[in-house]
Amino acid sequence: MLGLAACSSALPKVQVDTLAISVSDQANIDTPLAIDVVLVHNPQLLEALLNLPSAKWFSQRDQWRRDHPDDFTVVSYEVVPGQQIPSAPFAFGGKRGAGVVVFANYQTLGAHRVRLDTGPPKALLQLGDQDLSVQAAR
């Protein structure tokens, strides 16, 4: 147990303090969109997730949870086209982890993921018509 505590304290702190979400009017072919924000505690798992397309994440998420029950934490959202979620404290802000990956379950082909842990401190998750991005909130 002591080894696990020492290992987790060596991980960097998440640099995002607040998160806002903006969804375009035609996002995901004008249908609701599932989003998973994943705080990863294991550096090797982070590398695997950074190479995983969003569609595979969503189709295999339950298996990932069974295989790695203590290696990540997920906050899930479902948004609709045109939705705006104002800036709020980020669920993982200041927590330690190997990284934070955001997966968006778009119906179109693509990776549809971004890394979020290194900032900006006031982040805006932009869910565009066919992909997502992160930028500094105004």
pLDDT digits (tens, 9 = 90+) for 25-48: 999 999 999 999 999 999 999 999
The alpha-helical segments, DSSP class H, found in 33-118 are 43-50, 54-67
Q: List the strands of the sheet with 72-79, edge to edge.
A: 72-79, 33-40, 99-104, 113-115
Name the helix (H) or strand (E) containing 85: strand 84-89
Containing structural domain, residue 30: 2-136
Which residues are CB-contacts of 56 (< 8 A; sequence separation ≥ 6)? none
Number of structural domains the chain divides into: 1
- Radius of gyration for the chain, computed over Cα atoms and rounded to the nearest angstrom: 15
pLDDT digits (tens, 9 = 90+) for 50-62: 999 999 999 999 9
pLDDT digits (tens, 9 = 90+) for 85-114: 999 999 999 999 999 999 999 999 999 999
Specify the CATH number for the domain of residue 15.
2.60.40.4150
Rounded alpha-carbon distances, angstroms, from residue 13 to 23, 83, 85, 104: 27, 29, 24, 23
What is the model's pLDDT at position 126? 98
